[in-house]
Amino acid sequence: METAEIRRRWLKFFEDNDHVVVPSAPLIYDDPNLLFVNAGMVPMKPYMLGQQTPPWPRATSVQKCVRTGDIEEVGKTSRHGTFFQMNGNFSFGDYFKERAIELAWGLVTTPIADGGYGLDPERVWPTVYEDDDEAYAIWHEKIGIPVERMTRRGKEDNYWNMGVPGPGGPCSELFYDRGAQYGAEGGPAVDEDRYMEFWNLVFMQDDLSQVRSKADFDIAGPLPAKNIDTGMGLERMATLLQGKDNLYEIDEVFPVLAKAAEMTGRKYGEKSGQAAGQSHPDDVHLRVVADHVRSSLMLIGDGVTPGNEGRGYVLRRMLRRAVRAMRLLGYEDKALPELLPVSMDRMKASYPELEIDFPRISQIAYGEEDAFRRTLGAGTVILDTAVTKAKQSAASTGGGQATLAGEQAFQLHDTYGFPIDLTLEMAAEQGVQVDEPGFRRLMQEQRDRAKADAKSKKAGHAHTEVWRELRALGATDWLAYQGLSADAKITGIVVDGVQVPELRPGQTGQVVLDRTTFYAESGGQIADSGVIAGPYGELPVRDVQRPVKGLVVHTVEAGEHGLTVGDAVEAKVDPEWRVSACQAHSGTHVVHAALRQVLGPSALQSGSYNKPGYLRLDFAWNSGLSAATRSEIEEVSNLAVRQDLPVSAQFMTLPEAREWGALALFGETYDEQVRVVEIGGPWSRELCGGTHVAHSSQIGALTLTGEGSVGSGVRRVEALVGMEALRYLAKERMLVAELSGMVGAQPGELRDKVDALLVRVKDAEREIARLKQEQVQAEAASLVEQAQDISAVKVLTHHAGDLPADQVRSLVLSLRARLGDASGSVVAVTGVNAGRPVVVIATNQSARDRGIQAGALVKQAASVLGGGGGGKPDVAQGGGQDPSKVDEALSAVACAIRQTLD
Ligand code: ATP
Ligand code: MG
């Protein structure tokens, strides 16, 4: 049975049993404690914790999950994917243990012909928590599972809690006996590969007062409303129903593996047994490729981009591990362009948006592979050198274990983008350990630094608890689209992360209103500016954030007077500010559409920022834009402004929006109802929660001010809009007028005039150099007269003043020629070039015959000048630092000649 069909049957079964089907949340979810959604219950947490009233008593979902902790297991066990889908059914204070077990049993054992999964009931082995007699009795008595197939397990395996006080409860897990070829008999306690866990039922019944660890907690009493949370691994069920040995061989994964095998010329499975423990390393590599390519596809699809921290690092690590596994299999070409489309092709049945979004997804993935290929070269050399050194030092200190320092591992990570596990692997291949704790310490230090940097504003995002408490009092009635001012009541005040009854004079704090017109920073648009007008006057609003969904928080300076919870106030957005903010945000959409019109649809926005008058937009593109292309983009943008296109916003479901071709901004999580902003109908359609002008002409004017690279495959354009654009242009015009005045030309002739001036400057410089040369040569004639006679050798020393080295040299050579060959002669001339002394010395043949070497003399002179130099016996040149020493240097030369000749 295909995975998509298993999924369909799941949803139908639970829908038929009165569950509301809830779509999967994106992998990045609004939960500060989680890197990625890692279980079906994550989006349900607020209902489980009693923070929000569940909208339905029963729900079911197929949730996308990523478990980074399982990355090391991939390919080595038969059942762990980094990405997988968890099918869940949930009851919020509705049915409990007995019904949950009946439902699970029903779906699993109903024959395939009747819509179920048709597993052999005799091979299902349930486990229960050691103290859960109730669950044991239901399985044994109601369902009829014989006691031989039932196992009681302890807290580690069969008790669920969240690590914090709150709900918890025993679990019951379902295992399937895959047969003797997969391992030893005896149930899940003996072999979890042969007996594969596929479904976990959690019975949330206890209220935990203290949780010290997974297996050490105190139960305060029963929960008032008991919940059911279950998770069935979709891929694991597919493994069972498709009769495969492991989850890398199911329909959604295997085609990538097969492609990788074809590319590397391997015969998958040839050298492995059926049980996971009998896997050949080549097959493990192939499974890693298949798994990681799929996970990367899903992660990028949900807005993750490769980076060195957090989510981005997980993605980077997976992409690089996949590429690296291909290399270990002998494949050195670009691999992802072959593999990623295969994965997309398999996944699009369940996630059609992947196909629509594939140009963006693939560009990010391929860009990362290219970057890795480049760094792999440089990094490998560094690593090899470090490894060799580590080995040598281990050998010289008595042959202990060779260890690579944490600093080196850190440098490889930081500078060359080597994931630590790659360093570990590559070092291990050469028998060298890595000081991993040292590496982790340095990573932590770097993280702390980054945190300190980012600490700045972001109103209290850290104190999530406070916001959740305030949110529980009700959502802010958000009126930013409706108008600029609203009467409101203060419902909460927070100072330094703590709820307080009043904001006292002089304090800055966060103020929550029951309703507000202020736009909270999001989607690249910065927060509105304005005031909260209270009983004692107007207090400026410095920032507006939405720390949790539905709650708008204003950072306010109290000034001389304060504010008290319960005060009636007026929220007033600065109208000028808002007009400019709307211009900037609509301008961003216009530039994005213009970019795609001029460059093509793959020039997709990857991030943006806008504030009154200014916008910038990052987009996927590999090369710089020519001046002509930039002008064209500007022209298309301003034409759109001038055409006065209508701007409109409407709400619809995400699938509808995608159908409509609306571009989603990644890194954002979207609600079920999304807002689509259009400019000129289909010309620009984006998912966006920002504030916009009503007609494109209200943007006024738009001018691009910059374009550059901000990372591999990402460019940034910056622009000014509205009055800012006009002021910028006015300033440029002023500058042109000033320059024209300075050079005495009309603005239209400025270019030719400056061109001509530059030519004249060049000519003049050349002329000056020529005159100087002439002057120097003219002086040469009189200089010859000054040569002194030292033991029948003519010695001429001279300081020429400011003169570049090449001219000093030609002067020396012409002086030596003028002195002739009748007797021995030596010429030594110093000059100063750009503040630094130079010295050139030449000898003729008869001087050299008497032992005088130009090279040796230059060395001596240069050492006086505080530098160095050298050359042949006939001509040599040197220089130094201290121009005041030139006379001293020339005397030293004369003195050395005298000594040689004596
Ligand atoms: P295991 O012990 O096999 O790692 P688990 O106890 O971590 O599983 P749960 O947290 O109970 O699993 O998750 C519920 C279900 O999700 C499991 O029964 C299994 O079917 C599925 N599942 C969990 N982790 C993975 C994974 N890495 N890949 C695929 N399916 C998984
Ligand atoms: Mg697990």
The 10s digit of each residue's pLDDT in 797-819 is: 999 998 888 889 989 999 999 99
Cα(233) to centroid(ligand 1), Å: 6
- Residue to substitute in 67, 197, 287 for testing ligand 1 pocket (most ligand atoms within 8 angstroms of CB): 197
Residue 122 burial class via C-beta count within 10 angstroms: exposed 0-12, middle 13-18, buried 19 and up: exposed
Q: What is the pLDDT of residue 668?
A: 53
> Closest ligand 1 atom, CA of 233?
20
* Parallel, antiparallel or unpaired: strands 508-513 and 515-516: unpaired
Tell me, using a 6 A CB cutoff, whether residue 70 lines ligand 1.
yes
Tell me, using a 6 A CB cutoff, whether residue 231 lines ligand 1.
yes
The 10s digit of each residue's pLDDT in 740-778 is: 999 999 988 999 999 999 999 999 999 998 888 888 888
Cα(109) to centroid(ligand 1), Å: 20
- Whether 126 and 174 have beta carbons less than 8 Å apart is answered as yes
Q: What is the pLDDT of residue 454?
A: 46
Q: What is the pLDDT of residue 457?
A: 35
- Whether 405 and 385 have beta carbons less than 8 Å apart is answered as no
Report the pLDDT averaged over residues 841-853: 94
Which stretch of 203-217, 455-469, 653-667 has the lowest confidence by average pLDDT? 455-469
Q: Which amino acid is residue 601, in one-letter code?
A: P
Cα(70) to centroid(ligand 2), Å: 7
- Residue to substitute in 64, 79, 229, 240 for testing ligand 1 pocket (most ligand atoms within 8 angstroms of CB): 79
Alpha-carbon distances, residue 448 vs 31, 34, 415, 470, 621 (angstroms): 21, 19, 18, 29, 32
> Closest ligand 1 atom, CA of 82?
27
Cα(72) to centroid(ligand 1), Å: 14
Asked if pLDDT for residue 26 goes beyond 70, the answer is yes
* Parallel, antiparallel or unpaired: strands 508-513 and 485-495: antiparallel
Q: What is the spatial distance between Cα 105 and Cα 98, in angstroms, rounded to a whole number?
A: 11
Tell me, using a 6 A CB cutoff, whether residue 198 lines ligand 1.
yes
Q: What is the spatial distance between Cα 666 and Cα 111, in angstroms, rounded to a whole number?
A: 42
Q: What is the pLDDT of residue 683?
A: 94
Asked if pLDDT for residue 870 goes beyond 90, the answer is no
Give the per-residue SS3 of 110-152: CCHHHCCCCCCHHHEEEEEECCCHHHHHHHHHHHCCCHHHCEE
Asked if pLDDT for residue 412 goes beyond 90, the answer is no
Tell me, using a 6 A CB cutoff, whether residue 197 lines ligand 1.
yes
Tell me, using a 6 A CB cutoff, whether residue 81 lines ligand 1.
yes
Cα(37) to centroid(ligand 2), Å: 14
Report the pLDDT averaged over residues 582-607: 93
Q: What is the pLDDT of residue 456?
A: 36
Tell me, using a 6 A CB cutoff, whether residue 84 lines ligand 1.
yes
* Parallel, antiparallel or unpaired: strands 124-129 and 151-153: parallel
Asked if pLDDT for residue 450 goes beyond 70, the answer is no
Which stretch of 76-80, 774-778, 883-887 has the lowest confidence by average pLDDT? 774-778
The 10s digit of each residue's pLDDT in 167-185 is: 899 999 999 999 999 999 9
Q: What is the DSSP letter of 696?
A: G
Q: What is the spatial distance between Cα 527 and Cα 523, in angstroms, rounded to a whole number?
A: 10
Cα(55) to centroid(ligand 1), Å: 27
Give the per-residue SS3 of 63-84: EEEECHHHHHHCCCCCCCCCEE
Q: What is the pLDDT of residue 460?
A: 40
The 10s digit of each residue's pLDDT in 564-579 is: 999 999 999 999 999 9
Q: Which amino acid is residue 721, in one-letter code?
A: V
How much is the mean pLDDT over the chain?
A: 90
Of the CA atoms within 13 Å of residue 590, those in its CB half-sphere come to: 40
Asked if pLDDT for residue 666 goes beyond 60, the answer is no
The number of beta carbons lying within 10 Å of the beta carbon of residue 746 is 8
Cα(42) to centroid(ligand 2), Å: 16
> Please, what is the angle between helix 436-454 and helix 420-429, to 10°?
160
Q: What is the pLDDT of residue 463?
A: 58
Q: What is the pLDDT of residue 354?
A: 94
Which stretch of 203-212, 769-778, 876-885 has the lowest confidence by average pLDDT? 769-778
Q: What is the spatial distance between Cα 647 and Cα 480, in angstroms, rounded to a whole number?
A: 16
* Residue 669 pLDDT level (bands cut at 50, 70, 90): low
Tell me, using a 6 A CB cutoff, whether residue 235 lines ligand 1.
yes
The 10s digit of each residue's pLDDT in 487-533 is: 999 999 998 888 889 898 888 999 999 999 999 998 889 999 999 99
Which stretch of 437-441, 668-672, 676-680 has the lowest confidence by average pLDDT? 668-672
Tell me, using a 6 A CB cutoff, whether residue 200 lines ligand 1.
yes
* Residue 453 pLDDT level (bands cut at 50, 70, 90): very low
The 10s digit of each residue's pLDDT in 30-51 is: 766 788 999 999 999 888 888 7
* Residue 459 pLDDT level (bands cut at 50, 70, 90): very low
* Residue 623 pLDDT level (bands cut at 50, 70, 90): confident
Tell me, using a 6 A CB cutoff, whether residue 855 lines ligand 1.
no
* Residue 665 pLDDT level (bands cut at 50, 70, 90): low
The 10s digit of each residue's pLDDT in 347-384 is: 999 999 999 999 889 988 998 898 888 777 777 888 88
What is the secondary structure of 498-551 as a DSSP string? Answer: EEESEE-TT-EEEEEESEE-PPPSBTTBPPP-EEEEETTEEEEEEEEE-SSTT-
Task: Select, from the ranges 12-26, 358-372, 645-659, the one with the highest average predicted confidence (pLDDT).
Answer: 12-26
Strands (E), 342-424: 403-404
Phi, psi of 273 (to 5 degrees): -90, -175
* Residue 461 pLDDT level (bands cut at 50, 70, 90): very low
Tell me, using a 6 A CB cutoff, whether residue 519 lines ligand 1.
no
Which stretch of 96-110, 225-239, 336-350, 556-570 has the lowest confidence by average pLDDT? 556-570
The 10s digit of each residue's pLDDT in 298-348 is: 999 998 988 877 788 899 889 999 998 999 899 999 999 999 999 999 999
Which token pair is 630? 């930039």
* Residue 429 pLDDT level (bands cut at 50, 70, 90): confident
Asked if pLDDT for residue 417 goes beyond 70, the answer is no
Q: What is the pLDDT of residue 712?
A: 65
The 10s digit of each residue's pLDDT in 132-154 is: 999 999 999 999 999 999 999 99
Tell me, using a 6 A CB cutoff, whether residue 86 lines ligand 1.
yes
Which stretch of 248-257, 574-583, 863-872 has the lowest confidence by average pLDDT? 863-872
Tell me, using a 6 A CB cutoff, whether residue 248 lines ligand 1.
no
Which stretch of 208-222, 440-454, 543-557 has the lowest confidence by average pLDDT? 440-454
Which token pair is 694? 């009503």
